[in-house]
Chain A
Amino acid sequence: MKLLFVNSVVTGLKRRAAGRPRWQVGAVIAMAVLGSGVSAYALITSSGDRAIVDNVQGDTFQALGGHIVQSTLTNEVIAGQNAQAFQQAFALGDGFFGAKFHAGDGGGANVGVGERYTRMPRADLTGAGQWATHTPARATGPNATGCTGCHNLGGDDGGGDSAANVHRDANHTKALNQMVQRNTPHVFGLGGLQKLAEEMTTDLQNARNAARTALGCGSTTTAGSKTVTLTSKGVAFGTLVITHTSGSTNCTEALSAPVSGGANAVSADLIVRPFQWKGANAFIRDFVRGAAHNEIGMQTTELLGSPTVDPASVDGDGDGVTNEVFVGDMTALTLYQAAQPRPTTRQELASLGIIPALSSAETSAIAAGSTAFDSMGCSTCHVRQLTVNDVIFREPSNNPNFRDPGNVFPNGRSYGSSSLDINNPVSFDLTKDSPENNNIHTANGQTLGAFVRDSSGHATVSLFGDLRRHDMGSGLAEEVDEIGTGKSVFETENLWGVGSTPPYLHDGRAASLTEAILEHGGEAQTARNNFAAASTTTQKNLVAFLNNLVLFKSE
């Protein structure tokens, strides 16, 4: 069919050009083709060309050892071989993160106008299979051929320079002032963050549920009201007023900010969401499948199709490839992210002989900067450390708030239909099992990749954050309220690894830590002013303290 089409077009053009000089014939044909509206773009989406790419370049997943089917992992867990399942998943996740996916794999997407990748959202491309028609709706990209296209500052799994910023047009406005720009954060220690969020969510919801029960919400019609103070792990999340109106079993709730005039620290559902700049995503799987689709054009079957249509038959991004990422692959990528090593410090690396010993001047500056960090008020929000009580990370989680609602994937298929079993998760110990940096042993007998285990068996997560949202003032406000939490509201950025990952702030506007501090406002205005008013020596000490917080991988 392709040859017939080509021949008929050229034959027709030749007839119309009869009698003209041949150079004119050539020009006529070329101009006719270019100006005819025919989609004369070179983009590999056909099965034949994709097969050639696969044959020459090799199937990327095959090179990584092949896709993982979720039932394989689940069956291994059931058979008592959790460690094998975790190892297998981590290895594939590692390969997935580092891979560059090509057309045969389904990497990228049919942006339209011949492009496979774009840093500019193209809501104007509304033709069949083009950017604006992708399923799920696309907000950005695809921006890169693989995860490390952006996560490369401070090593693989690190942050990204400003050149790696992405631009999102969630509402397909086509208007530049309705897009947001996002800098790439590092992904170290994510398992610790999700576990903290799980436990904090449980604390907050338990407090709410106790009050609701006492008021008879859902069961009685007696009027009443209760004010609940929301705290977890020493972090204040504000207050919740629950009101039970007379004559109804329903109750209403009103959430207040922990800081007068500040932002609500958490959403009304009291789910602590540790991922993305505004705290949009609660669990790693949700975050990575969105990123795989939007950033690199690798679509998981969890997003596509419907409960009654085989998702393997759906090509959501018009690139001619279906079934790009299996449920098991997504479990693997999730576990790989969750088991990333904790960030460390230059002082710790020096103590282990990995880097040269720090000078006494540098050590003194870090110590003085640490003191200033507290006295200036930075640690009010950038809380140095929080403790995870249950150190076992599970995928899927045993906390329903950190799975898809109702155990149903976004495409409507149940977890069970893909053998993702909440009773048989693949699991690992945050304080023992990270495969990265496991060849380096710390003074307490653990490995450098593991979270520090305290005497109670709990994991210490030195995140320098509080997993709360804050109003950062008009100076950091965006033109778009990305998730409805407020244009100037962002979640506290965890400072672990900050010495390895400039630039800073949500859009990478701060090339240096000094700039980042000075650009704080809103709830952080006082701390910012304290820094600005300090001596240059004290300011340098604080920056030295922050630069001590680094990423490291031994591989």
Chain B
Amino acid sequence: MRSIDMKTFAGAVAAAFLAIAAASCAKVTGEPSGGDTSGVTSAGTPAAAAPLPQSNVSNVGTQRAVMPAGTNPDPGAAPARGEGPATQPSAAVMQAVGSVQAKLDAVTAVLEGTRVRFVDCNESAACSARLEAPSLAGLRDLLQSVSAQQGGIGFVAREQLDAYTGRTFVADVTMGGGQATRPVPTDENELLGN
């Protein structure tokens, strides 16, 4: 009888220890998983590489695609990095980002369903942000508030569809640093395409 009690006790304690130990392992620090920032592939030759037929686009030198009108080529393309940023932003940039983020958050806090997706700034305090609203009228209200707060903004608005996040209305906003501004229309239907 005593030995049975001991087994029961030991089993219960073991179960408790396992449960507590597992819980204490959950959600501690998130460490990088060995991300490669060396600028070169961490792979050797891919193991599953299949032999390819001759391509008519292979080995013909750099391909310069013909860019359609309205294209905004990214002048910052610099193909020599890994995943992380080459340099950490300066304290001034971080301060500018924090300041703008706080101001925009104050606006979205009072406009239901709106949010700031990201803020980016450069050394000359020219900032950009992506703002989101659940409706076109909501986006107009958001832009009007931000424009009033910032003393003018530039913006490009669009509808964004996504099977996972549904339908949202988004604006890429520029502010500060002497960037061009334009008035936010009162008719929300003029936001898109103008």
**Those of B46-68 within 8 Å (CB) of chain A:** 46-68
**Those of A1-16 within 8 Å (CB) of chain B:** 1-2, 5-6, 9-10
Q: Are A74 and B79 CB-contacts (below 8 A) given A30-B16, A41-B22, A81-B59?
A: yes
Q: Which residues of B contact A126 (CB under 8 A)?
A: none
Can you list 21 A-B pairs with a CB-CB distance of less than 8 A? A26-B10, A32-B16, A42-B19, A67-B42, A77-B63, A82-B59, A83-B58, A90-B52, A139-B165, A281-B162, A320-B30, A323-B35, A326-B36, A405-B156, A405-B158, A415-B74, A422-B67, A422-B73, A438-B52, A482-B163, A483-B162
**Those of A323-377 within 8 Å (CB) of chain B:** 323-324, 326-328
Asked if A91 contacts B9 (CB within 8 A), the reply is no
Q: Mark each residue of chain A from 419 to 449: 1 if its CB lies under 8 Å from any CB of chain B, else 0.
A: 1111111011100110110100000000100
Contact-residue size bin, chain A (C-beta under 8 Å from the other chain): 35 or more
Asked if A68 contacts B43 (CB within 8 A), the reply is yes
Asked if A483 contacts B163 (CB within 8 A), the reply is yes
Number of B residues, CB within 8 Å of A: 109
Q: Are A308 and B89 CB-contacts (below 8 A) given A64-B46, A483-B167?
A: yes
The stretch that binds B, out of A44-52, A189-197, A524-532, is A44-52
Q: Are A68 and B35 CB-contacts (below 8 A) given A269-B192, A415-B74, A424-B63?
A: no
Q: Which residues of B contact A321 (CB under 8 A)?
A: 30, 33
Q: Which residues of A contact B158 (CB under 8 A)?
A: 269, 405
Asked if B16 contacts A417 (CB within 8 A), the reply is no
Q: Which residues of A contact B170 (CB under 8 A)?
A: 405
Which among B27, B31, B46, B89 is the interface contact of A65 at CB below 8 angstroms?
B46
With both beta carbons as reference points, the residue of chain A lying nearest to B56 in the complex is identified as A429
Asked if A43 contacts B26 (CB within 8 A), the reply is yes
Asked if A406 contacts B194 (CB within 8 A), the reply is no
Asked if A320 contacts B28 (CB within 8 A), the reply is yes
Q: Kindly state whether residue B159 has any CB partner on chain A within 8 Å.
A: yes
Alpha-carbon distance between A279 and B158 when the two chains are bound, in angstroms: 16
Which among A2, A26, A46 is the interface contact of B12 at CB below 8 angstroms?
A26
Q: List chain B positions with a Cβ less than 8 A from chain A.
A: 5-6, 8-13, 15-85, 88-89, 93-94, 97, 117-121, 130, 156, 158-159, 161-167, 170, 172, 185, 187, 189-190, 192-194
Alpha-carbon distance between A95 and B47 when the two chains are bound, in angstroms: 9
B171 to chain A, nearest CB (A): 10
Q: Which residues of A contact B78 (CB under 8 A)?
A: 416-417, 419
A512 to chain B, nearest CB (A): 26
Asked if B63 contacts A425 (CB within 8 A), the reply is yes
Asked if A419 contacts B80 (CB within 8 A), the reply is yes
Alpha-carbon distance between A32 and B16 when the two chains are bound, in angstroms: 9
Q: Which residues of A contact B9 (CB under 8 A)?
A: 22-23, 25-26
Alpha-carbon distance between A110 and B23 when the two chains are bound, in angstroms: 12
With both beta carbons as reference points, the residue of chain A lying nearest to B61 in the complex is identified as A80
Alpha-carbon distance between A170 and B164 when the two chains are bound, in angstroms: 6
Q: Kindly state whether residue A207 has any CB partner on chain B within 8 Å.
A: no
Asked if B79 contacts A71 (CB within 8 A), the reply is yes
**Those of A102-134 within 8 Å (CB) of chain B:** 104-106, 110, 128-129
Q: Are A33 and B19 CB-contacts (below 8 A) given A41-B26, A419-B78?
A: yes
Alpha-carbon distance between A408 and B119 when the two chains are bound, in angstroms: 12
Q: Which residues of B contact A248 (CB under 8 A)?
A: 190
A187 to chain B, nearest CB (A): 14
Task: Rank and list the top 7 A-B pairs by shortest CB-CB distance, nearest first.
Answer: A26-B12, A83-B58, A66-B43, A412-B118, A416-B76, A484-B167, A323-B35
Alpha-carbon distance between A81 and B17 when the two chains are bound, in angstroms: 57
Most buried by A among B39, B64, B65: B65
Asked if B81 contacts A419 (CB within 8 A), the reply is yes
B8 to chain A, nearest CB (A): 5
Which among B45, B72, B83, B166 is the interface contact of A312 at CB below 8 angstroms?
B83
B124 to chain A, nearest CB (A): 15
Asked if A312 contacts B163 (CB within 8 A), the reply is no
Alpha-carbon distance between A91 and B34 when the two chains are bound, in angstroms: 21
Q: Which residues of A contact B33 (CB under 8 A)?
A: 50, 104-106, 321-324
Asked if A66 contacts B30 (CB within 8 A), the reply is no
Asked if B46 contacts A416 (CB within 8 A), the reply is no
Alpha-carbon distance between A209 and B55 when the two chains are bound, in angstroms: 35
Alpha-carbon distance between A480 and B52 when the two chains are bound, in angstroms: 45
Asked if B190 contacts A252 (CB within 8 A), the reply is yes
B28 to chain A, nearest CB (A): 5
Asked if B130 contacts A412 (CB within 8 A), the reply is yes
Most buried by A among B30, B38, B166: B30
With both beta carbons as reference points, the residue of chain B lying nearest to A398 in the complex is identified as B65
Q: Which residues of A contact B37 (CB under 8 A)?
A: 312
Q: Which residues of B contact A78 (CB under 8 A)?
A: 62, 79
Q: Kindly state whether residue A75 has any CB partner on chain B within 8 Å.
A: yes
Q: Are A71 and B39 CB-contacts (below 8 A) given A269-B159, A324-B33, A419-B77?
A: yes
Alpha-carbon distance between A82 and B63 when the two chains are bound, in angstroms: 9
Q: Kindly state whether residue A285 has any CB partner on chain B within 8 Å.
A: no
Q: Kindly state whether residue A400 has any CB partner on chain B within 8 Å.
A: yes
Asked if B43 contacts A65 (CB within 8 A), the reply is yes
Asked if B163 contacts A278 (CB within 8 A), the reply is yes
Asked if A423 contacts B65 (CB within 8 A), the reply is yes
Asked if A67 contacts B41 (CB within 8 A), the reply is yes
Q: Are A421 and B52 CB-contacts (below 8 A) given A30-B15, A66-B44, A82-B59?
A: no
Q: Are A308 and B40 CB-contacts (below 8 A) given A64-B47, A94-B48?
A: no
Q: Which residues of A contact B60 (CB under 8 A)?
A: 80, 82
Q: Are A312 and B32 CB-contacts (below 8 A) given A2-B24, A64-B46, A417-B85?
A: yes
Which among A65, A168, A408, A415 is the interface contact of B45 at CB below 8 angstroms?
A65
Asked if A308 contacts B121 (CB within 8 A), the reply is yes
Alpha-carbon distance between A39 and B26 when the two chains are bound, in angstroms: 8
Alpha-carbon distance between A399 and B72 when the two chains are bound, in angstroms: 10
Alpha-carbon distance between A182 and B190 when the two chains are bound, in angstroms: 35
Which among B26, B38, B130 is the interface contact of A46 at CB below 8 angstroms?
B26
Asked if A306 contacts B118 (CB within 8 A), the reply is yes
Asked if B27 contacts A29 (CB within 8 A), the reply is no
